[in-house]
Amino acid sequence: MDKIAQKISEELSIKYIQVENTIKLIDDGNTIPFIARYRKEVTGGLSDEILRDLGERLSYLRNLETRKNEIIKLIDEQGKLTDELSIAIENAETLSEVEDLYRPFKQKKKTRATVAKSKGLEPLANVIWEQQETKPIAEIASSYININNLSENDKKDKDKIVSSADEAIQGALDIIAENISDNAKYRKYIKRVCYREGSIVTTSVDSNLHSNYEMYYDFSELVHKLPSHRILAINRGENEKFLKVSITKPQEKILYYMQKDIIKGNTQFKEMLENTILDAFQRLIEPSIEREIRSDLTEKAEEKAIKVFGQNAKQLLLSAPIKGKTVMGFDPAYRTGCKIAIIDETGKVLDTTTVYPTAPQNDTEGAKNILLPLIKKDHVDIIAIGNGTASRESELFISNLIKDVSHEICYVIVSEAGASVYSASKLATEEYPDINVSIRGAISIARRLQDPLAELVKIDPKAIGVGQYQHDVNQKKLSESLTGVVEDSVNKVGVDVNTATPSLLSYVSGINNTIAKNIVKYRDENGKISERKELLKVPKLGKVAYEQCAGFIRIPNGKNPIENTAVHPESYEVAEKLLNLLGFKVEDLRNKESLNILRTKLENINVSEISSKLDVGELTLSDIIAELSKPGRDPREDMPKPVLRNDVLKFEDLTEGMILTGTVRNVIDFGAFIDIGVKYDGLVHISEMSTSYIKSPSDVVSVGDIVKVKVIKIDSERKKVGLSMKI
């Protein structure tokens, strides 16, 4: 049984055979979205989240095995590899543990111990360490004095001179101190004790300085109880020079453990070894262990932050689109004016302008005179207002403006995070070469309402504004995680190959940036793609890429109506046989009446019986049934729709006890921020989310959820609102 597969199986609580099969699929070059959707029979129906966790652990454990083999080879080349050491390295479970075992054999830079060794004091260190010698140690050490035996040239090198017995003894003790520090057993014990009993202590660099970190100016918490958001906040406070951070450790307990293991009774060496153990701990082990613990804590906190950010980003990407509506994008600002872009239901730009209803101009009448005719001419259904600078002033203006519109119209607040970055990007220039940079932001805001996924994939995932400390964490890991989140989201929804931008296509399983651009180029030169297999004519899109991407590509109104579903080409035959079995043809998928009858029949199918008859797995058949029931269905339709408003709520209108409907904007370790329609998002602390115990806020809410909340605290001075979901 493969050791790595067995370990992953235990860690993720899934069957060994599922892990083994998944590893083979990954090694064969299949993408996670493809494996999750089209290889359910092989993996036992593992979700994309579990598959990504499996892939990460597989990569880590394989790197660990590679490093173990490297270290065993390096120690063996020194002639110092023992069976005991080899077994210890083989059994190590983390890279940190492996490096601790290798520590004594590493080539070291110049240290007090290496200098002592170059003076030939290692045999004296062994005498002290063994504690057997009864002859006075000073007498033994005298034989190491070499100043009279050195050449004049060597006497110039201090690193070669031993001028006294005391100097010889001190050098020998330096060697022992380093050996104690390099001992993997001691380091493992000390780290474990520090995790269990140590505390993180923070103090202010200057208590007179006002900052966001004032709660940490005199703070202490046990290492093992410190939540991840607090670790990252402390790190940031330290980096910004507001905080000093240290770890208190149970020093007496640690010293007693090492003394008990090292000192052999009441000999002449007892006191000097006690002092050496103290020196080894304070000078060598303690700073190193403190760095390691801080690093471990940071790594775990970053992993948690990245996971939370990924969950939030996924929910935002899968927000329900608002289709078939003409939208006005309203990008608020003060001095430079509010940028306006009106787009039709297909995303085509109809009109653009700039108005100045906010300070310093406050030209509300002039803005009305420009916008009301445009709203009427283009029959605008919804106004999407960006939530940045001047958002609430703009909302107030819009809520008054729409009272003068003759047809039904409403507005919605849209996150504009990353819109300005996108506006100035190369991609935006390619999409809108003739439109001013400042107006592109308004187009992006409008399009985010119409199709959040298609628009947000154009933006660096870090910039979409639903994270916690995302700029403080390991950027490579964050980027990898978010790329995976975007891939899963895009492939879950599917992509219309004839309207998708290269940005969207590049996240489809098996399609890279080059192929995505080639698809668009092929489309431009040859017209609409009418069937999936036509993709094989696209340069650089070969059979392997086709297998990976085909099921995620949608072709509405193409030659084959099955190609407007997630049914993979490898299952077309099964899908057709299923339809025939029920008395239907593929063409019936285009007919509403036939489809309604088919849907009823599909609901009553005995999956087990039919899967046996069609010689197909039950999981695959269930997916085919779901797809044939609703061809062209967008899974985002099940997501909560944005809260549409037609009147504004001011901060001053809030009163304690008020019940409001809000949208979850961000989920973090300690709660969730809710947009309740005032300028500042309110916070629901984790303790106010449920009457029963919950481990994490994400167990209760997700970004985009529409929730009912009660106002429980209003801080007018700091403009903060406390909310509760326990209504």
| DSSP-assigned states of every residue in 461-485 | GGGGS--SSTTTS-HHHHHHHHHHH
What are the tokens at 55?
Answer: 């892939």
Give the pLDDT of residue 548: 97
Which residues have CB under 8 Å from 59's CB, separation 6+?
none
The distance in angstroms from the start CA to the end CA of the chain is 53
Distance (Å, whole) CA 121 – CA 177: 13
What are the tokens at 47?
Answer: 């979700």
Q: Residue 686 in 3-state DSSP?
A: helix
Distance (Å, whole) CA 188 – CA 64: 18
Whether the full predicted model's pTM is greater than 0.85, yes or no, is no
Distance (Å, whole) CA 21 – CA 12: 15
Handedness of CA 523, 447, 330, 645 (dihedral sign): positive
Give the pLDDT of residue 680: 80
CA neighbor of 495 nearest in space, from 556, 545, 447: 556
Task: Count Cα neighbours of 454 within 13 Å in the Cβ-side half-sphere.
Answer: 22
Per the DSSP assignment, residues forming a β-bridge with 666 are 673
Residue ranges of the chain with pLDDT lower than 70? 1, 151-152, 154-157, 467-468, 648
Give the pLDDT of residue 427: 87
Which residues have CB under 8 Å from 73's CB, separation 6+?
none
**How many contiguous H segments (helices) and E segments (strands) does the chain have?**
31, 15
Distance (Å, whole) CA 678 – CA 700: 23
The torsion region of residue 667 among left (phi > 0), alpha (psi -120 to 50) and beta comes to: beta
Q: Distance from CA of residue 601 to its chain's centroid?
A: 42
Largest CA distance in the chain: 109
Per the DSSP assignment, residues forming a β-bridge with 329 are 341, 384
Angle at CA 235, nearest 5°, toward 233 and 238?
110
Going from the C-alpha of 270 to that of each of 138, 141, 283, 284, 609, the distances in angstroms are 15, 17, 20, 20, 80
Distance (Å, whole) CA 272 – CA 405: 90
Q: Could you say which DSSP state residue 320 is in?
A: P
Distance (Å, whole) CA 651 – CA 679: 7
Distance (Å, whole) CA 206 – CA 470: 27
Give the pLDDT of residue 392: 83
The phi, psi pair for 668, rounded to 5°, reads -130, 180
Which residues have CB under 8 Å from 213's CB, separation 6+?
204, 233, 234, 236, 237, 240, 242, 243
Give the pLDDT of residue 639: 78
Distance (Å, whole) CA 194 – CA 672: 32
Listed in order, strand segments (DSSP E) in 609-681 are: 659-668, 671-675
pLDDT in tens, 595-613: 999 999 999 999 999 999 9
Regarding beta strands 382-386 and 327-331, do their DSSP bridges make them parallel or antiparallel, or are they unpaired? parallel
Going from the C-alpha of 112 to that of each of 119, 165, 176, 271, the distances in angstroms are 11, 17, 11, 20
pLDDT in tens, 7-59: 999 999 999 999 999 999 999 999 999 999 999 999 999 999 999 999 999 99
Distance (Å, whole) CA 626 – CA 83: 58
What are the tokens at 307?
Answer: 């996971």
